[in-house]
Amino acid sequence: MYDVAIIGAGPGGIYSAYEMIKHDPSLSIAIFETGNPLEKRKSPIDGDKIKTCIHCDPCSIMNGFGGAGAFSDGKYNITNEFGGNLYEYIGPEKAIELMEYVDQINCAHGGSKTKLYVNNDRKIAKKCLQNNLHLLKANVRHLGTDVNYIVLKNLFEELKNDVHFFFRTHIDQVTIDKEDYVLRSGQETFRAKRCIISTGRSGSKWMESVCAGLGIRTRSNRVDIGVRVELNADTFSELTDSLYESKIVYQSKKYQDRVRTFCMNPHGVVVNENTNGIVTVNGHSYDDPEKYTENTNFALLVSNRFTEPFHQSNQYGESIARLSNMLGGGVIVQRFGDLIRGQRSTINRINNGFVRPTLKATPGDLSLVIPKRQMDDIIEMIYALDRVCPSTASDDTLLYGVEVKFYNMQVEVDNNLETVHKGLYVIGDCSGVTHSLSHASASGVYVARKILAE
């Protein structure tokens, strides 16, 4: 029996436990995590003997202490303009206050020497507007994959003596017995007075089953489909040197769809990602200059929102990603020039180009995978970006596919992020409310303070 059970050791779960233990060490708190402790999270992909995802169970990239963001490039965006709609539940001022508080925690646990970028360069914003591109404002703390790991390690060291961690413990079912929450994992049963669910976007299917079992209403969310762009770092240096993480939104002329940049990694690397057994693509970067590459990568994503009667947005995204896996055995890479000329890329064409890929992917033809509408949107935005950052639309610019961002269906919660069941909270990306490290962490602190107040 615990006072609080937390399902998921991602940012939401970590910062909720941190806040509760900090203010009331007498609380008995348990965190249940499908994956491994931080030091045991090792992907077998080495680029030599193992070049692509081999579907480990559990996936060390997506699961374990730190969540799916543990090996990301550790960008904490302090803003209400993107990263989720937490501010709609708790108020815009409170949301910013909590994100700044999380930033203080990160700095106190090893991130103090990292840079806080302020995205207020009016010259760049004006240049974007002149080309129908909209630069979103934010303060960005870039920890880097290396420092992000240190921060998480220090947080675990502080929590491990006061919080009961259960790693490699997948919770199969959550039920209610009178006033207690009952968590079942295999043959084991745990009980708690309050329960916080924070399983991240990798727990989307699991979250659907929990909501169905407990009668919690949900509504369909969106899915973002696109590619990861890799080009010479000098191409985007004007933006990345000043802003680091430039969030740019474009409305396509042909379909009026929203296309956006996401997860920009100056001097970074492109990596595989496994979501529910499907291999997609992502990007990382480091704070240590010795780990810099000569490339910058970022995602171009088209937001897809569906109307009645369709309710399977994630399944739609999965089907496109599976097609990529079928044709390429994983991630496909194509030169932009080849895509425009209607020809598949080959190993020779990529090797003869001036951009050296940082991920071993299968050369192919993304037009056989990504639907025409989304592909037209992506091509249109690349040409728009080329007017701001010349050579973006170079023949040798690499496009990796498919990048898919799955969003959990929107779980019905109140302004306390509490469900219809008293004491059952849903936070972080699994709630559909947040889509970022900063918002997920802030939601954890917010719910912790609500529980402490009770």
pLDDT tens sequence across 344-371: 999 999 999 999 999 999 999 999 999 9
Identify the CA nearest to 225 among candidates 122, 333, 329, 315.
315
Summarize pLDDT for 222-266 with one digit per residue, the tens: 789 999 999 999 999 999 988 888 899 999 999 999 999 998 999
Q: How far apart are CA 126 and CA 210, in angstroms?
A: 47
Structure confidence at residue 52 (pLDDT): 67
Per-residue pLDDT band for 47 (boundaries 50, 70, 90) equals low
Structure confidence at residue 266 (pLDDT): 93
Check: CB of residue 19 under 8 Å from CB of residue 452.
Answer: yes
Task: Give the full edge-to-edge strand order of the sheet including 139-142.
Answer: 75-78, 139-142, 115-118
Structure confidence at residue 132 (pLDDT): 94
Token pair belonging to 127: 């240049």
Is 181 part of a structural domain of the chain? Answer: yes
Check: CB of residue 192 under 8 Å from CB of residue 7.
Answer: no
For the residues 318-327, what does the mean pLDDT come to? 92
Q: In sequence order, which residues have a C-beta less than 8 Å from that of residue 442 and are 6 or more positions away?
A: 15, 86, 95, 98, 99, 101, 102, 434
Tell me, yes or no, whether 198 and 102 share the same domain: yes
Tell me, yes or no, whether 251 and 190 share the same domain: no
Q: Is the pLDDT of residue 29 over 80?
A: yes
Q: How far apart are CA 333 and CA 317, in angstroms?
A: 18
Tell me, yes or no, whether 402 and 283 share the same domain: yes
Neighbours of 59 (CB within 10 A): 21
For the residues 157-184, what does the mean pLDDT come to? 96
Omega of the bond leading into 58 within 30 degrees of 0 (cis):
yes
Is 135 part of a structural domain of the chain? Answer: no
Structure confidence at residue 46 (pLDDT): 62
Going through 243-375 in order, the beta strands assigned E by DSSP cover: 248-251, 258-265, 269-275, 278-284, 295-304, 332-335, 362-363
For the residues 144-154, what does the mean pLDDT come to? 93
Is 125 part of a structural domain of the chain? Answer: no
Is 126 part of a structural domain of the chain? Answer: no
For the residues 69-85, what does the mean pLDDT come to? 88
Structure confidence at residue 348 (pLDDT): 97
Residue matched to tokens 């779960």? 13
Please calculate the CA angle 201-207-210 and round it to the nearest 5 degrees.
Answer: 170
Q: Is the pLDDT of residue 307 over 80?
A: no
Q: What is the CATH number of the domain that holds 184?
A: 3.50.50.60
Q: Is the pLDDT of residue 308 over 80?
A: no
Structure confidence at residue 25 (pLDDT): 95
Tell me, yes or no, whether 340 and 369 share the same domain: yes
Identify the CA nearest to 295 among candidates 333, 338, 250, 339.
333
Domain end, chosen from 406, 421, 445, is at 406
Per-residue pLDDT band for 315 (boundaries 50, 70, 90) equals confident
Is 127 part of a structural domain of the chain? Answer: no
CA dihedral 115, 121, 123, 124 (to 10 degrees): 70
Is 132 part of a structural domain of the chain? Answer: no
Q: How far apart are CA 82 and CA 222, in angstroms?
A: 14
Q: How far apart are CA 45 and CA 69, in angstroms?
A: 18
Q: Is the pLDDT of residue 221 over 90?
A: no
Check: CB of residue 10 under 8 Å from CB of residue 68.
Answer: yes
Structure confidence at residue 343 (pLDDT): 96
Residue matched to tokens 């699994």? 430
Number of domain units in the chain: 2
Tell me, yes or no, whether 154 and 6 share the same domain: yes
Tell me, yes or no, whether 335 and 365 share the same domain: yes
Per-residue pLDDT band for 72 (boundaries 50, 70, 90) equals confident
Percent of the chain with pLDDT over 70: 98
3-class secondary structure, 197? strand
Percent of the chain with pLDDT over 90: 73
Tell me, yes or no, whether 263 and 375 share the same domain: yes
Tell me, yes or no, whether 207 and 232 share the same domain: no
Structure confidence at residue 388 (pLDDT): 96
Is 134 part of a structural domain of the chain? Answer: no
The H or E element containing residue 88 is helix 87-90
Structure confidence at residue 320 (pLDDT): 93
pTM given for the model:
0.82
Is 439 part of a structural domain of the chain? Answer: yes
Check: CB of residue 143 under 8 Å from CB of residue 106.
Answer: yes
Tell me, yes or no, whether 297 and 316 share the same domain: yes
Q: In sequence order, which residues have a C-beta less than 8 Å from that of residue 155 and are 6 or more positions away?
A: 14, 18, 105, 109
Query: Could you tell me where the DSSP H helices lie in 130-228?
Result: 144-159, 204-214
For the residues 164-173, what does the mean pLDDT come to? 97
Check: CB of residue 296 under 8 Å from CB of residue 268.
Answer: yes
Tell me, yes or no, whether 250 and 306 share the same domain: yes
Tell me, yes or no, whether 314 and 191 share the same domain: no
Q: Is the pLDDT of residue 51 over 70?
A: no
Tell me, yes or no, whether 282 and 423 share the same domain: no
Check: CB of residue 334 under 8 Å from CB of residue 292.
Answer: no
Identify the CA nearest to 180 among candidates 424, 447, 419, 450.
424
Domain that holds residue 267: 223-406
Q: How far apart are CA 75 and CA 285, in angstroms?
A: 10
